Amino acid sequence: MDEPRKWHHGYELTKATGLLSGTLYPILMRLADRGLLEHKWLPSGEAGRPPRHVYRLTASGAEHAREQFDLADEVGTTAAGTVSRA
Amino acid sequence: MSSGPLGGVAGVLLALATRLAPTERAEWIEAMRAEVAYLPEQARLRWALGCLVTAIKLRVTPMQTGSLRINPWIMVLESLVCFGSSLIACWIFTFGDLGVLTHDFAPFERYLDGVLGVPDAQMVIWMLYGYAVCSLVGPVGMFLGLRYALLGRGLRNRVLGYGLIAAAIAVSFSGTLSNFWIGKGDWSERIPLIVQFTILPAAGILHLMYLGRRAAPAPGDARLTPA
């Protein structure tokens, strides 16, 4: 979310999220199906290597992600308040 | 891809994933395969395993959520289950023991009339002709099923589809009717035959008709042209 409009490749995303490829890619597909993620093939700069599939959030995807983060913060704050009052 | 044994295993896993994945998701599996070329050696096997898991998920998830699009080779099995019995029945009623093209029905008619006392034996004979025609759902359905398996083409002709379903229904209807006619009217005995000769073939035809519909492209799945 630091750079939501930057293109990222799959391996980079698995490292950033800690998800395995078998978990990450179905999520990417669902996000793309819902119009929250865009993807394209980026030609390799090195000879003999295939084009690479890269991903980034769409504008609505970034907006949705921000809403989810805000919601998570809100829930976290409420939960922390409840715990401290108890 | 590495030429070592682990690289070989990863290659096999990736090839298997490509085979398993549904066509409409082929781009994503291709993306996972392409990514392998950029991974460190030690990460490749795990990545390939993830690719296989993804392909299996893609294959299994539509089944859970009700999409009836299936792998062609499953259609071979489905065709055998749905149309196998009708195919055999068609052979029997056309060329076999009750074959309308090979059998002399005169003694059979005398047996029905004289021994069993069936009111209209001629009608029963005509029903056998009806069976022979209606059980064509077996060979036609099998042909359509195998065509889907080989060419990926479902049944687009609605008239043919509904005609075959009507034929499958007619098989059970006339069979049940003739059974009552002969005097062995017991519904419970007919149920397995109704499943075998009507419900399964009709379900198979409906599935082939579903597969013949033009699939809408998945939203957001359009491949963007490389820059």
Which structural domain, as residue segments, surrounds residue B151? Answer: 72-211
B113: in domain: yes
Q: How far from A81 is each of A70, A72, B97, CA to CA, in Å?
A: 16, 14, 83
B50 lies within 8 A of chain A by CB: yes
What letter represents residue A49's amino acid?
A: R
Q: Quote the tokens at residue B39.
A: 């991974």
Residues B130 and B160 placed together within one structural domain of the fold: yes
Residues B45 and B106 placed together within one structural domain of the fold: no
B216: in domain: no
CA distance to partner chain A, nearest, from residue B205 (Å): 30
Q: Which pLDDT value is given to residue B220?
A: 44
Residues B106 and B188 placed together within one structural domain of the fold: yes
Q: Which pLDDT value is given to residue B225?
A: 37
B50: in domain: yes
B223: in domain: no
Residues B148 and B43 placed together within one structural domain of the fold: no
The residue that leads in pLDDT, A57 or B193, is A57
Residues B200 and B122 placed together within one structural domain of the fold: yes
Burial of B198 (0-12, 13-18, 19+ CB in 10 A): buried
Between B25, B53, B227, which is nearest A42 by CB? B227
Residues B103 and B56 placed together within one structural domain of the fold: no
The residue that leads in pLDDT, B110 or A61, is A61
CA distance to partner chain B, nearest, from residue A34 (Å): 7
B170: in domain: yes
- Reduce the DSSP state of residue B117 to 3 states and report it: coil
Taking alpha carbons only, the member of B62, B128, B70 closest to residue B100 is: B128
Q: Chain B contacts of A60, Cβ < 8 Å?
A: none
Residues B127 and B187 placed together within one structural domain of the fold: yes
Number of domains in chain B: 2
Residues B48 and B87 placed together within one structural domain of the fold: no
B224: in domain: no
Residues B205 and B107 placed together within one structural domain of the fold: yes
CA distance to partner chain B, nearest, from residue A18 (Å): 13
Q: How far from A49 is each of B15, B33, B105, CA to CA, in Å?
A: 18, 11, 73
Q: How many CB pairs under 8 A join A and B?
A: 89
Interface test with B, best of A17, A44, A53 (most B CBs within 10 A): A53
pLDDT tens, per residue, chain B with 227 residues: 545 555 678 888 999 999 888 888 899 999 999 999 999 888 899 999 999 999 988 887 665 555 667 777 888 999 999 999 999 988 888 888 777 777 777 777 677 666 766 666 677 777 778 888 888 999 999 999 999 988 888 899 999 999 999 999 988 877 666 666 666 656 667 788 888 889 999 999 999 998 888 654 444 444 433 43
Q: How far from A85 is each of A73, A75, A76, A77, B87, CA to CA, in Å?
A: 18, 15, 14, 12, 74
Please give the distance of CA B22 from its chain centroid, rounded to a whole number: 18
B146: in domain: yes
Q: Quote the tokens at residue A6.
A: 């930057």
Residues B34 and B96 placed together within one structural domain of the fold: no
B130: in domain: yes
Residues B49 and B129 placed together within one structural domain of the fold: no
Domain boundary among B18, B37, B64: B64
Residues B94 and B35 placed together within one structural domain of the fold: no
List b or e across A28-39, with b for residues whose CB sees 16 or more CB atoms inside 10 angstroms.
bbebbeeebbbb
Helices B121-134 & B72-94 angle (0-180, nearest 10): 150
Q: Does residue A3 surpass a pLDDT of 90?
A: no
